[in-house]
Amino acid sequence: MSKRKTQSYTSEYRAEAIKLVLDQGLPVAEAATRLNMNQGTLAYWVTQARKGKTASASGAGMQSAVELAAEVRQLRRELAEARMERDILKNRPHGAPRPL
C-alpha cells in the first residue's frame, strides 16, 4: 500500500489559481491542467471563493491601498538613489578609483 502525498499550496498561489477561473473565465479543468494540479482541489477552492469562505476571496493577506502606496513611495526613493549612484559612477573619469 502506498501513502498518498499531499501537496501544500501558499495562499498567494491559491488566490492566483482562483483568479484564473473567476476573473479570467478559464474553465476549472483547463486552469488545473495549466497549473499542473488536481482539478477537484481547484474546483473546491473556486466553490469556497464563490461562497466567500476563503481568505483569498475576501482579500485577507493582501496589502491595503495605504500599505501599497507606502511601498511605492519607498521603492521610488530607492530607485532615485540607485539612479543617482549609477550616474555618479558613469560620469567619473576613466581610470579613477571607485568610491567606497
How far is Cα 72 from Cα 81, in angstroms, rounded to an integer? 14
- DSSP readout, 41-52? HHHHHHHHHHHT
Q: Hey, where are the domains in the chain?
A: 10-62, 63-93
Residue 21, classified by CB atoms within 10 Å of its CB into exposed (0-12), middle (13-18) or buried (19+), is buried
Assign domain 10-62 to a CATH class: mainly alpha
> pLDDT tens digits for 50-89?
888 665 444 545 667 787 888 899 999 999 999 999 999 9
How far is Cα 48 from Cα 52, in angstroms, rounded to an integer? 6
Residue the block writes with cell 502525498: 5
pTM of the model: 0.50
How much is the average pLDDT of 27-46? 93
